[in-house]
Every structure is written in structure tokens, then in C-alpha cells.
């Protein structure tokens, strides 16, 4: 990937159920994001602050392409909530109600619903240990770790645990332990969920590369799929997260994620801020 050295860079701040993003539109020019830029912009004191940075790119075979970065400077293969937010932004620009986009997972479709929420087909869950990836073969529905987790991939790794009361889980203490467990050679996102009913879950999340976040779209997808595979819920589930409500529907053509999209502000990085990165 080639990187430009911007001297004046516009951005958009958005969130989806409190999962917050800086969006940089690099259509028509070279990509600008580096690990250093992501870390600097992600700093909530010296930069803007975000859970993920999403960079919009040109795509030959779709309306646009998306790259994702966590605020620790690492890359992510999927981000459901940023995908929904950016899809809405691109749909407004193109005057469309649906778009296709390319991520490292492949081609995804997103649509705006009549009530303003946006959904995206996140693709099929990855249920093979090599795809998540795990370091070695394991029972994906019952990992040999405390808490009896389920492992699943949604284009990124997830470790899902079902607990009696997700409210009381000490995410800051437990999250990093699972994130860095050697069974996950590329680290993992960590979800704790309790069953409220056959179509309702309470979920809290520790994200790889970002820590505690108010919501995680791919995590909601992984949790809903894991709950269904464990026989706890049906295929369509409403998830109550710290920052809002997401709906996941595991259909024949993939796992659909639906939720709100919020525009927060537009801004420009100053030349001085950008120069300090080079
Ligand atoms: N918030 C996201 C997931 C972001 C990526 C994750 N932290 C990773 O490193 O895989 C979502 O909405 O899916």
C-alpha cells in the first residue's frame, strides 16, 4: 500500500451505538493512514479519539473499499459498526439506498432502512480454527479456557462467553487476559453475554486493539451466532450493549447486522499535527 503525506486532511467523526470512528475519505488519491497516524489521531487527549479509524478507498468492483485501524495502530479485518456508518455516508453522497463495499473479507452489501438505521451483511461466520485463527485445533464451541468460551471469526477473531450477569463482569481485568491468550496468535476480541430471552442478549465487549468499547458490531454478530449454536437463542437476536441496541439476523446469505448511525462532526487535521508524525 502506498501512503501520501498529507498536509491538510479532512475527516468525519461518527458513531454507531457509541462505537466511535474517525473516517478519512481517500477516494481518488493514495491511502494516508499509517500505524503512527492511527495512534496519534486515536489519542483522546492529543488527537480526536476513536475506537476505529476507517479509511475509504476506491474499488474496481464495488461502490468503495474500506480499511480499518484500531486506536493502538493495529489493523482490523472487519468492523461492523464502522461499515454501517461509512456506508450511510457513501450512500448519501451517491444518492443511493444501498451500496456494495470491499473489505479484506470480500464484497459486502449495506442498505438504509426506512427508519434510518443501516444494515450490512457481514458474511458467513468462520467456524474453522484456522480461519479465526486459533494457534491449534480446538473444540470451537467449548474452548479449553476458563469461562467455556466459543471461538468464531467474522473477518476478525472473537472469543464469546456466556455468563449469568454480563453487568458485573470486570471487563478491564478479564478482557486483556483473553485478548492475549496464546490460543489466539493474532489476539482476539472478547465478548461477555447473558441471555435475557430466546431473542434477546445483554452483551459487553473488550475489543482487540481498543479495549472497552460501548458496542462492537462484529462482536454482536459473533455473540448471536455463538448463542444460536449453543442452543440459547433463535437466529434473530436483539443485543443490548453499553452504548445502544443492535440487531443480528443470521440468514442463509450471511449474518446481517442492523443498528443506528450518528454523524458527530467534521474537521481537518492541522498541518502541524500531521507534520509531527513524519
Ligand atoms: N468495533 C468493531 C470491531 C473493530 C475491530 C476489532 N477491534 C478487531 O481488532 O478485530 C465492530 O463494530 O465490528
Cβ neighbours of residue 275 closer than 8 Å, sequence gap 6 or more: 7
Whether ligand 1 lies within 6 angstroms of the CB of 117 is answered as: no
The three cell numbers locating residue 265: 462532526
216 Cα to the center of ligand 1, angstroms = 6
- Residue ranges for the binding site for substrate? 19, 52, 70, 80-81, 156, 189, 207-208, 217-218
Go through the chain and tell me how many residues it has. 278
- Cα(156)–Cα(220) distance, rounded to whole angstroms? 12
Instruction: Give the mean pLDDT of 116-144.
Output: 98
The three cell numbers locating residue 64: 468503495
Per-residue pLDDT at 1 exceeds 70? no
Cβ neighbours of residue 43 closer than 8 Å, sequence gap 6 or more: 49, 71
* Domains, the chain: 9-118+261-275 (3.10.310.10), 150-252 (3.10.310.10)
Instruction: Give the mean pLDDT of 67-90.
Output: 98
Question: Could you tell me the pTM of the whole model?
Answer: 0.97
- Cα(217)–Cα(212) distance, rounded to whole angstroms? 14
Strands 200-207 and 189-197: antiparallel
Whether ligand 1 lies within 6 angstroms of the CB of 81 is answered as: yes
Q: Which of 76, 123, 185 to mutate to test the pocket of ligand 1 (most atoms within 8 A of CB)?
A: 76
46 Cα to the center of ligand 1, angstroms = 23
Q: In 56-170, where does DSSP find H-type helix?
A: 80-94
- Residue 270's CB is within 10 A of a number of other CB atoms, namely 12
- The continuous run of DSSP H or E covering 150 comes out as strand 150-153
> Closest ligand 1 atom to the C-alpha of 75?
9
Q: Whose CA is nearest to atom 8 of ligand 1?
A: 76
> Residue 4: pLDDT band by 50, 70, 90 thresholds?
low
Task: Please tell me the predicted confidence (pLDDT) of residue 6.
Answer: 66
59 Cα to the center of ligand 1, angstroms = 22
* Catalytic (active site) residue 85: no
Whether ligand 1 lies within 6 angstroms of the CB of 259 is answered as: no
| Averaged pLDDT of the chain | 96
> Residue 158: pLDDT band by 50, 70, 90 thresholds?
very high
- Cα(175)–Cα(179) distance, rounded to whole angstroms? 6
Per-residue pLDDT at 2 exceeds 50? no
Per-residue pLDDT reduced to its tens digit, 225-278: 999 999 999 999 999 999 999 999 999 999 999 999 999 999 999 999 999 987
Q: Which of 156, 204, 208, 248 to mutate to test the pocket of ligand 1 (most atoms within 8 A of CB)?
A: 156
- Cα(125)–Cα(32) distance, rounded to whole angstroms? 31
- Cα(9)–Cα(79) distance, rounded to whole angstroms? 23
- In the three-class reduction of DSSP (H, G, I as helix; E, B as strand; rest coil), residue 245 is classed as strand
* Catalytic (active site) residue 221: no
Catalytic residue among 85, 159, 216, 221: 216
Task: Please tell me the predicted confidence (pLDDT) of residue 121.
Answer: 98
- Cα(265)–Cα(226) distance, rounded to whole angstroms? 36
Amino acid at each position: 500500500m502506498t501512503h501520501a503525506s498529507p498536509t491538510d486532511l479532512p475527516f468525519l467523526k461518527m458513531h454507531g451505538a457509541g462505537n466511535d470512528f474517525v473516517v478519512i475519505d481517500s477516494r481518488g488519491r493514495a491511502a494516508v493512514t499509517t500505524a503512527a497516524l492511527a495512534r496519534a489521531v486515536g489519542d483522546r487527549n492529543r488527537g480526536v479519539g476513536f475506537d476505529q479509524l476507517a479509511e475509504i478507498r476506491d474499488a474496481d468492483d464495488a461502490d468503495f473499499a474500506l480499511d480499518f485501524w484500531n486506536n493502538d495502530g493495529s489493523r482490523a479485518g472487519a468492523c461492523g459498526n464502522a461499515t454501517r456508518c461509512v456506508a450511510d455516508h457513501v450512500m448519501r453522497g451517491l444518492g443511493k439506498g444501498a451500496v456494495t463495499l470491499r473489505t479484506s473479507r470480500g464484497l459486502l452489501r449495506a442498505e438504509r432502512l426506512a427508519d434510518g438505521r443501516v444494515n450490512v451483511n457481514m458474511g458467513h461466520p468462520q467456524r474453522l480454527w484456522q480461519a479465526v485463527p486459533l494457534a491449534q485445533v480446538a473444540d470451537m464451541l467449548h474452548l479449553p479456557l476458563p469461562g467455556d468460551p466459543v471461538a468464531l471469526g467474522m473477518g476478525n477473531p472473537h472469543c464469546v462467553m456466556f455468563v449469568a450477569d454480563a453487568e458485573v463482569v470486570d471487563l478491564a481485568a478479564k478482557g486483556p487476559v483473553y485478548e492475549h491468550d496464546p490460543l489466539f496468535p493474532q489476539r482476539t476480541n472478547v465478548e461477555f453475554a447473558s441471555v435475557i430471552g430466546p431473542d434477546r442478549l445483554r452483551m459487553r465487549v473488550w475489543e482487540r486493539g481498543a479495549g472497552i468499547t460501548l458496542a462492537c458490531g462484529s462482536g454482536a454478530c459473533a455473540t448471536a451466532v455463538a448463542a444460536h449454536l449453543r442452543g440459547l437463542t433463535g437466529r434473530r437476536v436483539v443485543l443490548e450493549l453499553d452504548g445502544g441496541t443492535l440487531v443480528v439476523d443470521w440468514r442463509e446469505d450471511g449474518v446481517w447486522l442492523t443498528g443506528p448511525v450518528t454523524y458527530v462532526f467534521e474537521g481537518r487535521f492541522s498541518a502541524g499535527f500531521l507534520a509531527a508524525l513524519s
